[in-house]
Amino acid sequence: MNKIMIAPSILTSSFLNLESVIKELEEVESDYLHLDIMDGVFVPQITFGAKIVSDIKKSSSIPLDVHLMIVNPEKHIDDFAKAGADIISVHYEGNIHIHKIIHQIKSYNIKAGIVLNPHTRVDVIEPIIEDIDYVLIMSVNPGFGGQKFIESSVKKIREAKKLISNRDIILAVDGGVNLNTCNIVIEAGANFLVAGSAIIDSDNKKDTINKLRGNK
């Protein structure tokens, strides 16, 4: 079986200490850093933009997984790609030109992903499955860290796994992933776990990341 990748989200960490937080996440062998970009319109909070992503890229070698929770992502994709994103994902909801957006991302030779909110059917990815590198199943409603995992996401991960079949597409899950929920999402087929509070609040991040990978 392929290794389970872990992408800590820095959303609930102190942004005043980002450099040391990221250094620590790098030392404990995170596979990606998950960066939640929120615009106060698509979701209530406003986080940060491409300038911070670019600064992070300069100070760290962890690949960057940029999750765009913004309206009109096509206006900002060029900036995030140039800032050093290694994956850019956009929500299916609210975007009427997803195919075009995916190819805008791929024109930078980086991975392009689709994110599905809890209410969105998984089969919407079918027509563009040959174009995408990454599918992210939201297991909370996007907007905040530290929310409770929505159980019905497990069925959606299974459905996505079936649709992906043997294609080389990352199957990611985001929201409420912790030591209690990691095993069911891995068993359902997720191979990329985004975890915010479970890692940021942990006193032993190395051990937590190891356990999130499904290792006892």
Sign of CA dihedral 138, 9, 35, 26: negative
CB-nearer residue toward ligand DX5: 118 or 146:
146
The question of whether 174 is a catalytic residue gets the answer yes
Q: Is 31 in the site for Zn ion (CB under 5 A)?
A: no
Q: Which residues, at least 6 apart from 112, have a Cβ–Cβ distance to it below 8 Å? A: 87, 88, 89, 102, 103, 105, 106, 131, 132, 133, 134
Catalytic residue among 31, 65, 133, 174: 174
The candidate with the shortest Cα–Cα distance to 6, out of 207, 149, 216, is: 207
205-212 vs 18-27: helix crossing angle, rounded to 10: 60
Partner from Zn ion, ligand DX5, none binding residue 13, C-beta < 5-8 Å depending on class: none
The question of whether 36 is a catalytic residue gets the answer yes
**Minimum distance, C-beta of residue 197 to ligand DX5, in the bound complex (Å):** 3
Count of CB atoms within 10 A of residue 97's CB?
A: 11
Q: Of 36, 39, 65, 133, which one interacts with ligand DX5 (CB under 6 A)?
A: 36
Partner from Zn ion, ligand DX5, none binding residue 39, C-beta < 5-8 Å depending on class: none
Q: Of 67, 76, 111, 205, which one interacts with ligand DX5 (CB under 6 A)?
A: 67
Q: Is 8 in the site for ligand DX5 (CB under 6 A)?
A: no
CB-nearer residue toward ligand DX5: 81 or 199:
199
List the alpha helices (DSSP H) in the chain.
Answer: 18-27, 50-59, 77-83, 98-106, 153-164, 182-188, 197-200, 205-212
Question: Which residues form the interface with Zn ion (CB under 5 A)?
Answer: 36, 67, 174
Question: Which residues form the interface with ligand DX5 (CB under 6 A)?
Answer: 9, 11, 34, 36, 67, 140, 142-143, 145-147, 174-177, 194-198
